[in-house]
Homo-oligomer: A and B are copies of this chain.
Amino acid sequence: MMSQKEKSVFSRGPDLLALPSQSRRLRMGIVGGGRISKVQSLGMRLSDRWEVSAGAFSTDRDRSAARGREWYLPQDRIYTDYRQMAEVEAGREDGIDAVTITTPNDSHYDIAREFAARGFHVFCEKPMTTSVETSLELVAAVRSAGIRLCVAHAYAGHAMVRQAREMIRSGSIGRVRQVHVEYAQEWMLGEEIQSFSHVKWRQDPARSGGTACTADIGTHAHHLAAFVSGLEMTRLRAELLVCGPLKQLDDTVYVNARFEGDVPGLLWASQVAAGNFVGLRFRIYGDTGGLEWDQEKPDFLYYSKVGQPAQVVRRGYGGGNSDSVERLTRAPAGNAEGWLEAWANVFAEFAADVAEKKGLLLEPPVPLFYATVEDGARGAKFVEAAVTSDRAGGAWTNCQIEF
């Protein structure tokens, strides 16, 4: 038998995700066939909690079939119409447990409503909907259907993001006094890209919801700031900017923010910041310490306590990881984890919640931290407030939402 000590040494190493076991893998249906649907599918597989069991990948039969083959789906689980998928799957004994929505922003609401109404749980790409109004309607729909909805803020699934959150909650940096968060990319530079289909709908106000960069990546930064600091953003002043090739909507946004307790902060995002790929970073400063994290090196969290040498807190063995963080770890300290692990963590937490609802959980539930439908509504409010503030010349604008 393993001693306590031996267990603790073993726990330095890899383990299956230490969330409660389920009696079976859950079955996911996919709506949409873009690249993000592939990424999500890999996250699901890695989570070992989900199988891709059905999909409406495209309204074009051949394209949908081709994508379905990638997941080895039988013909009768490949659809061209999400409504049909909802109806057929609802009638199957081995039908899907949940659906993931990976289509353009303006369609999220209708699809989510359709599946929620039939009792399917929903995983939804961000931004959840394109208006505060629809997001609140979706909150109501989800609540009334009694289903779970998870918004795809995958970055919050990184173990070291969880570690930062836990450290702040336990007082490692004292009272939070400033929140800096940024998300810098470069991919919208270049003239030719402006005409590509996945750029075009993002630049179409009707489909994207009135902002491009703000909705697309600003919402990630907004969610991460609150998730880690433990403080919701309450008001903001925003500038929506075009800093790259001429276009209809913003490719850059600067936000001056106040968080709960009147804590100030800065948030900026840009898709034309040359040299940046996925430059999502936070720096949170408290009375007695600070924390920094960069998504591109996700295993490393930099912690400074005033008057002491800075520490490099790492996933896994090495001191300091909280239990709820070790639970989300698959590789030993020193063997890198990455973005797909973050996705897998979010899918695993979502699975644990869905499994509990369906009576498939084999162990007692644990606290879960995925982004909920309410978080999705907070993101919609953030986007709306940014637009409002920008139109008012950068006036302070409320961005908090009541449920």
**Interface, chain A (partner B; CB < 8 A):** 2, 5-6, 9-10, 12-16, 21, 24-25, 35, 38-39, 41-42, 45-46, 48, 69-72, 173, 177-178, 180, 185-187, 189-190, 192-193, 196-197, 237, 239, 241, 243-244, 252, 254, 256, 264, 266, 268, 270, 272-279, 283, 285-292, 295-299, 302-314, 316-320, 330-341, 393-394, 396
Contacts and interface: CB of A to CB of B under 8 A. Distances in A.
Given A14-B39, A21-B69, A277 B314 contact: yes
Given A16-B38, A277-B316, A337-B338, 20 more contacts: A9-B192, A14-B35, A16-B70, A21-B70, A45-B46, A178-B273, A239-B264, A244-B287, A254-B264, A275-B290, A276-B290, A277-B332, A295-B336, A303-B309, A307-B318, A309-B320, A310-B318, A335-B339, A338-B341, A340-B340
Given A256-B239, A274-B290, A336 B297 contact: yes
Nearest to A393: B396
A156 to B, nearest CB: 14
7 contacts: A9-B193, A14-B42, A42-B48, A45-B48, A177-B243, A190-B306, A274-B285
A319 B330 contact: no
Given A266-B266, A338-B338, A394-B394, A318 B309 contact: yes
Given A264-B252, A337-B340, A302 B275 contact: yes
A320 to B, nearest CB: 6
A310 B312 contact: yes
A270 B285 CA distance: 10
B35 A42 contact: no
Given A25-B72, A243-B177, A266-B268, A274 B338 contact: no
Contacts of A71: 48
Contacts of A193: 9
B243 A340 contact: no
Given A38-B16, A243-B178, A274 B304 contact: yes
Contact of A308 (B254, B277, B306, B319): B319
A111 to B, nearest CB: 22
Contact of A330 (B42, B292, B312, B334): B42
A316 B311 CA distance: 16
Nearest to A321: B309
A264 B241 contact: yes
B306 A290 contact: no
Nearest to A302: B275
The 10 closest A-B pairs by CB, nearest first: A277-B334, A275-B304, A278-B334, A275-B290, A336-B338, A335-B339, A274-B290, A338-B338, A309-B311, A308-B319
Contacts of A288: 189, 274
B339 A270 contact: no
